[in-house]
Structures are given as C-alpha cells and as structure tokens.
Amino acid sequence: MDYSIAKEPRITTMGCRYYRLTGSLTQQIYSGFRLRSRLDYTRRGIILRRLALGAALVLALCMFSGCSASPEAKKGDYIISKEEQRILVAKNISKKDSESKTFADLKKNNIEIINYIVEDSQLYNELRIGEKVNVTPKTNDKGEYVVMKSDPPQIRAGQIERLKDG
C-alpha cells in the first residue's frame, strides 16, 4: 500500500492550510472515523438500553410493593351496621367491602356475620360503621359464652377493641 502526503501544503481562499492526501491512506483515515463513530453510537445505545431497563425494573418493583401495601388488601372485622345497642360485625373482610357491600351480599358470599349486644351505651355511641374492631364475647365463670340462635347469631360483647386501619 502506498501512503504518501504531498510535500507542499495548499492554501485555500480562506487562508487555511491542508495537505493533500493520496492513495489508500485517505480511505483508511475516513473509514476509521466512520467506524469509530459507529462504535461510539453502539456504546451509547447499549448504555441507554441498560439505563432504560434498570428504570423499568425499579418502576415495576415500586409498583408491586405499593400494591401489596395497600389498605384494601388488609382484612379484618368491621362494623357494617348499628341499631338498638347492637353492632353487626362482619369477620375477615376488607375495608372496601365493609363500606360497599350490603348484608345480603356478605351473607351470599358466606362471610361470618355476628350481632354483638353492647351493654356500654357510651361506647356504643362512639363506635362508627366501617370501623375495624376486635370483639371478645362476654363469658361466665366457667369461661363459656352464650350464643343466641338467630340469623345472624347474637352474642353479648365483653370487650370491644377499636383497631386502626393500616
């Protein structure tokens, strides 16, 4: 291969000097620039793809962890109705179900529903529909409690613990 550079520089009308390249040296220089720029673009592409993939994975991780931490996913015992010193409590349902579903819907879905008789009138007035509670039945000296056979069953409430949602 013949690589040669002209001995005398040429001067253009703008006053810039350049040397005239001859032979395959010109082709090699230009092809080298093209290859280098293509490699730079592919490296940038790889880096950008990795960044986009990493961002998508972080977003998916946040989305899945956010869904499992939602208050709707947590279940408990909720007051669904109040009347005449009695609270109607549905067991093991979500807060959303306690607010949106009717007594008939819960009964149809075989949700355990118990009517608790509240003897403390001040506590009864403070309790709200949709509130999460843990009710312990009132027991006798032997540790037994009485269940009145009705639909839903009725039990005297011994202790009512108000729980926070979340």
With a pLDDT cut of 70, the percent of the chain lying above it is 70
- Check whether 91 has a pLDDT greater than 60: yes
Fold for 72-163, please state it.
Answer: OB fold (Dihydrolipoamide Acetyltransferase, E2P) (2.40.50)
The tokens 């010109």 sit on which residue?
26
- Check whether 55 has a pLDDT greater than 70: yes
- Check whether 127 has a pLDDT greater than 90: yes
Structure tokens at 65: 């962890």
- The pLDDT confidence band at residue 117, using thresholds 50, 70 and 90, is very high
- The pLDDT confidence band at residue 39, using thresholds 50, 70 and 90, is low
Q: What is the pLDDT of residue 23?
A: 53
- The pLDDT confidence band at residue 66, using thresholds 50, 70 and 90, is low
pLDDT tens-digit series, residues 129-166: 889 999 999 888 888 888 888 888 999 999 999 988 75
Which among 111, 162, 110, 164 is positioned nearest to 136, based on CA atoms?
162
The tokens 């092809």 sit on which residue?
31
Q: What is the pLDDT of residue 134?
A: 93
- The pLDDT confidence band at residue 5, using thresholds 50, 70 and 90, is low
Burial of 77 (0-12, 13-18, 19+ CB in 10 A): buried
Is this model's pTM higher than 0.85 or not? Answer: no
Rounded average pLDDT over 66-75:
61
